[in-house]
A and B are shown apart, each in its own frame.
Chain A
Amino acid sequence: MLTSFKRILTFAVNDFGRNKGISIASIFVLTVTIMLVTGLFFFQGLTGYLTSQIQDKIDVTAYFKSGTAEQDILNVKDEIIKTTPSIKNVEYISQDQALATFNANHKDNPVLAKALQEVGDNPFLPSLNITTSGDPLQYAQIANVLQTSDFSKLIEKVDFSQKKDTIEKVYSITTNINIFGLIFGAILILVAILVVFNTIKLAIENSKEEISAMRIVGASNWFIRGPFVIQGIIYGIFAFIICFLISGLFAYFMASKISVVLPGFDMFDFFLANWWIFVLIQLGFGIAVGAGSALIVVKKHLEV
């Protein structure tokens, strides 16, 4: 068994070296297709970051009536967290905090400072700033909590209705991007697999006479197909090494350019944080498609 495996491995390595043209062509096609799949993963990381950034910027603020007790506001906060556990953040901003933030933001504007002095009292209302995942359903749940009779009497106003359209639009855009990415990705991967399959099919068709000679002398099916499958694996490994290096270099050199368009997104950090997923996708895809194609094509030639 071990001797047979060693022999199959030797045949595969010899054939790989002796058919340089076919080997290089197969690795090239496999590399291009793996890069397409890798590109999709980069795209997914990019859109994921973009949508989370947009969603983070959309929040709802509930303003409470002046003089509402802090404990009552915190009760509302607890209720929101209880009814919507997947909510991202609920922040309580007291009247004093609101005033301090306003002053800090407008310290260079004497007109506003004077207007505030004339009002005399702190005109700001205590509030709860609510950030969700962007799902309109979460906003509806929050709106339900705020509208219950116990809480609605404490609330001066909620800016939810003013943002409703924007929230729904952003949510629909992000959902569409994900669906489009999924469909586009699936089509691209299918085309890529077909291209690799056909390249390997052509390479093996070239060995049709050889397979026929091997059958005539009584070689077992695994003794015949083994070297082709292992060659497929070797193509996959080589393509993976090339793709992994290209991905790393691409992420490193493009990081600064992409962060100009998308501040806060570091492509190289994304690559480093997900390097094992890159290995898994590239190596898995390369080996599975390379060896799988060889297995299917040789099987056809082994049938009586």
Chain B
Amino acid sequence: MIKFDNVTKIYQPGTIVLQNISFEIKDGEFVSIVGKSGAGKTTLVHLILGLEIPTYGEIYFDGLNLNDASPAKIQEIRRRIGGIYQDYKLLPKKTVYENVAYILQVEGKNNEEIKREVPKVLETIGLKDKIDNFPDQLSGGEQQRLAVARALINHPDTIIADEPTGNLDPYNSYEVISLLQKLNQTGKTVILSTHDREIVNKLGKRVITLEGGKILRDEAAGRFII
């Protein structure tokens, strides 16, 4: 599904962030990408989303080379990926309802469907009574729950979670990771980028370890060892 073929990313002037990275993630896999801060985890996520282009090498999403993909095709891929981020990436000037509805509006869904689906999802994550609040009126945990609701509203086939527990307490962290596991059990591909040793070791899933922009290890049932 996602394939990195000898990918190198260099930021000017001459800072190598990723070097000769090659791996493949199959449909339905749960992959943790681990490494210290600055190892290149976030750059790797940005490359999958087409937010950055590799300096060398190729990235494929469902067989499509992202280097050759049109802006419209890249946008379509982004819509197929649900993203959960450390800084939540919510829309600060939109309400809780509007943040979730925005995803469906981007997809061109009709207003009736949006009015039906959004309150349902907000009820599931316990934010129905804060439907008209703005993100800065929510706690960190609530913001992350909203980010999760937004990531799942359009039923994406891939979930990318970039340091999703970075700003959360242990209880909320556990909730997010449990949710990712459940989603993986329903057949979704999950890519978790983290530097949380405990979480990775508990998961017992595939681990790609990055260090200094290179793949140090890629193990099927790996552990966080740096």
* Residue in chain A with minimal CB distance to B109: A3
Q: Are B83 and A220 in contact (CB under 8 A)?
A: no
- In the complex, whether B110 has a CB less than 8 A from a CB of chain A is yes
Q: Are B108 and A217 in contact (CB under 8 A)?
A: no
Residues of A contacting B: mostly: helix
Q: Are A218 and B77 in contact (CB under 8 A)?
A: yes
Q: Are A216 and B78 in contact (CB under 8 A)?
A: yes
Q: Which of A72-113 contact B (CB under 8 A)?
A: none
Contacts of A220 in B (CB 8 A): 72, 75, 106
Q: Are B106 and A210 in contact (CB under 8 A)?
A: no
If the complex has contacts A4-B108, A304-B51, are A212 and B89 also in contact, measured as CB distance less than 8 A? Answer: yes
Q: Which of B63-90 contact A (CB under 8 A)?
A: 71-72, 75-81, 83, 85, 89-90
CB contacts between A and B, total, < 8 Å: 58
- In the complex, whether A18 has a CB less than 8 A from a CB of chain B is yes
- In the complex, whether B93 has a CB less than 8 A from a CB of chain A is yes
Interface magnitude class on chain A: 20 to 34
Contacts of B91 in A (CB 8 A): 210, 213-214
If the complex has contacts A7-B105, A217-B102, A217-B150, are A210 and B78 also in contact, measured as CB distance less than 8 A? Answer: no
- In the complex, whether A56 has a CB less than 8 A from a CB of chain B is no
Contacts of B53 in A (CB 8 A): 304
Contacts of A3 in B (CB 8 A): 108, 110-111
**Max chain B CB contacts within 10 Å: which of A7, A213, A215, A223?**
A213
Contacts of A214 in B (CB 8 A): 91, 102, 106
Can you show 5 pairs from A to B with CB atoms below 8 A apart? A3-B110, A14-B93, A215-B51, A216-B83, A218-B79
Query: A-B pairs with the 5 shortest C-beta distances?
Result: A218-B78, A218-B79, A213-B89, A219-B106, A218-B75
